[in-house]
């Protein structure tokens, strides 16, 4: 059987894999394979019936670093437009501003009082030891009222697991921690500042977020091999066997597919080359899945139907968030129509058909759907893995697997290649850095 040879083989053409290929430049020196028929991974845009374009739930770009700002500008140029967040929280029958903890104005007065008093107690009156888990961490930082009315139910709905099984401060980068002054202002309806990491973002004017991956692909010096996936990886021989029988020998392997799957492929290729401890550690890596529905509706949006996204902490709604693609970018829906994504978090298998009615009822209660006959489609999708779970086993298991891969000269990068919580900007950077590592290894003859 013939064995093809490439200097670098990239597994997965999401933003990380595409960015790596783009920065490797010379198309004669790499190959890139992707299981799906389209590039972009999580950040791809699907063409839906009636001319709707839907991303894989909301994908808004936050660019903070110069190399990624320049890269995205080179790729998208004037297709990119700045947007200012229009987000709300819906609870107790009212829409309040986001984030909940700094904007309780509009909620029933007893709820506002409970939130303020709880925060003041947590910050000034209570003694806290080091938080042992995520539930304790949010309780220490926000107090009982905010936790009861938002943090506990909202986070349980996203992650699908008990919050005391998660590590203490994994989400601190993403959760705004306002000052007492901002919280008091927010309780009185005086909030001035946009809080949080996602108050402003950029988004393409044409093509949805998928335009980013597509423009990376267009800039490659060779084609992405779509609809192909590995069935085993033989580490001692440094060869990957593909599902159509081809064997590809590589010097460098850049992995962006989920870490547990990579280890399975390595075991399949040569079980003896993967230490048992690494196989065991990879099996301890857990993630939830996100079921979401793309929903298309006839009729132009009224004000409350046109928020960019709405957080829903209450359990009577099966979903934790509803976003609107068309509210962010009108061209994603045909004229006189609107479109949404409705997200639900789970741990373990999920059957979308069990959630359709609950989603429909919730959308009606929210006033996003007035008449069921206006709905053009409601298409379910499952992202799995979606959010990696930072539990007690996470740090040590992940470190063991990544260290072993590094010692085996496999570069594993990206959201699931490093089994982490990251954003599109990080994915672009990690792909860029993987390409630099390979270029540097060439210099040393490694």
Residues at the interface with ligand FAD (CB under 6 A): 11-17, 33-36, 41-43, 57-62, 229-230, 256-257, 261, 290, 383, 386, 414-416, 422-425, 427
Q: If 0-12 CB within 10 Å is exposed, 13-18 middle and 19+ buried, where does residue 276 land? A: exposed
Select 16 or 339, whichever has its Cβ closest to ligand FAD: 16
Least spacing, CB of residue 413 vs ligand FAD, in Å: 7
Select 113 or 383, whichever has its Cβ closest to ligand FAD: 383
Select 143 or 345, whichever has its Cβ closest to ligand FAD: 345
Select 139 or 217, whichever has its Cβ closest to ligand FAD: 217
Residue 394: HSE in the Cβ half-sphere, 13 Å Cα cutoff = 19
Least spacing, CB of residue 190 vs ligand FAD, in Å: 29
- Measured distance CA(320)–CA(77) in Å, rounded: 34
- Measured distance CA(371)–CA(259) in Å, rounded: 44
- Measured distance CA(238)–CA(252) in Å, rounded: 9
Is 146:119 a contact under the CB 8 Å cutoff? yes
Residue 291: HSE in the Cβ half-sphere, 13 Å Cα cutoff = 21
Least spacing, CB of residue 17 vs ligand FAD, in Å: 6
**Strand segments (E) across 400-439:** 410-412
What distance lies between CA 27 and its chain's CA centroid? 29
- The tokens for 116 are 């303020």
Select 376 or 383, whichever has its Cβ closest to ligand FAD: 383
Least spacing, CB of residue 2 vs ligand FAD, in Å: 21
Least spacing, CB of residue 129 vs ligand FAD, in Å: 33
DSSP label of 194: P
Select 104 or 339, whichever has its Cβ closest to ligand FAD: 339
Which candidate, 17, 386, 68, 40, places its Cα nearest to that of 202? 68
Select 215 or 229, whichever has its Cβ closest to ligand FAD: 229
Least spacing, CB of residue 63 vs ligand FAD, in Å: 9
- Output the CA–CA distances (angstroms, integers) from residue 441 to 7, 18, 295, 388, 437, in the order listed: 11, 20, 48, 31, 6
Least spacing, CB of residue 33 vs ligand FAD, in Å: 6
Select 97 or 290, whichever has its Cβ closest to ligand FAD: 290
Least spacing, CB of residue 142 vs ligand FAD, in Å: 23
Contacts 24+ apart (CB under 8 A), 402-405: 402/259, 404/275, 404/278, 405/255, 405/262
């Amino acid at each position: 059987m013939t064995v093809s040879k490439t200097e670098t083989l990239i597994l997965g053409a999401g933003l990380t894999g595409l960015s790596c290929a783009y920065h490797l430049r010379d198309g004669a020196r790499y190959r890139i394979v992707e299981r799906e028929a389209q590039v972009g991974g999580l950040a791809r845009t699907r063409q839906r019936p009636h001319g709707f374009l839907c991303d894989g739930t909301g994908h808004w770009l936050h660019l903070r670093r110069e190399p990624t700002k320049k890269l995205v500008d080179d790729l998208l140029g004037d297709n990119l437009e700045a947007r200012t967040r229009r987000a709300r929280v819906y609870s107790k029958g009212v829409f309040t501003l986001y984030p909940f903890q700094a904007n309780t104005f509009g909620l029933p007065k007893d709820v506002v009082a409970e939130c303020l008093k709880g925060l003041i107690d947590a910050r000034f009156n209570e003694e806290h030891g080091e938080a042992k888990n995520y539930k304790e961490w949010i309780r220490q930082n926000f107090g009982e009222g905010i936790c009861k009315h938002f943090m506990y139910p909202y986070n349980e709905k996203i992650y699908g697991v008990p919050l005391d099984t998660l590590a203490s401060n994994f989400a601190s980068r993403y959760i705004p921690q306002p000052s007492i002054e901002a919280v008091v202002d927010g309780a009185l309806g005086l909030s001035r500042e946009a809080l949080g990491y996602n108050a402003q973002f950029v988004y393409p004017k044409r093509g949805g977020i998928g335009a980013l991956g597509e423009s990376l692909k267009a800039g490659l010096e060779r084609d992405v091999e779509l609809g192909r996936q590995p069935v085993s990886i033989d580490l001692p021989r440094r060869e990957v066997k593909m599902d159509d029988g081809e064997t590809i020998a590589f010097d460098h392997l850049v992995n962006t597919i989920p870490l547990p799957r990579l280890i399975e492929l390595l075991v399949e290729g040569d079980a003896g080359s993967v230490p048992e401890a690494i196989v065991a550690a990879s099996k301890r890596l857990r993630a939830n899945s996100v079921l979401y529905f793309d929903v298309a509706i006839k009729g132009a949006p009224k004000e409350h139907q046109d928020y960019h996204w709405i957080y829903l902490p209450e359990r009577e709604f099966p979903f934790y968030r509803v976003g609107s693609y068309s509210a962010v970018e009108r061209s994603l829906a045909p004229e006189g129509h609107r479109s949404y994504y409705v997200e639900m978090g789970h741990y373990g298998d999920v059957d979308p058909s069990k959630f359709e009615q609950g989603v429909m009822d919730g959308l009606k209660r929210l006033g996003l759907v007035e008449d069921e006959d206006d709905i053009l489609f409601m298409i379910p999708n499952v992202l799995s893995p979606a959010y990696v779970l930072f539990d007690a086993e996470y740090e040590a298991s992940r470190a063991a697997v990544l260290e072993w891969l590094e010692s085996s000269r496999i570069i594993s990068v990206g959201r699931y290649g490093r089994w982490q919580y990251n954003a599109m900007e990080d994915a672009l950077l990690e792909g860029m850095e993987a390409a630099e590592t390979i270029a540097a290894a060439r210099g040393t003859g490694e």
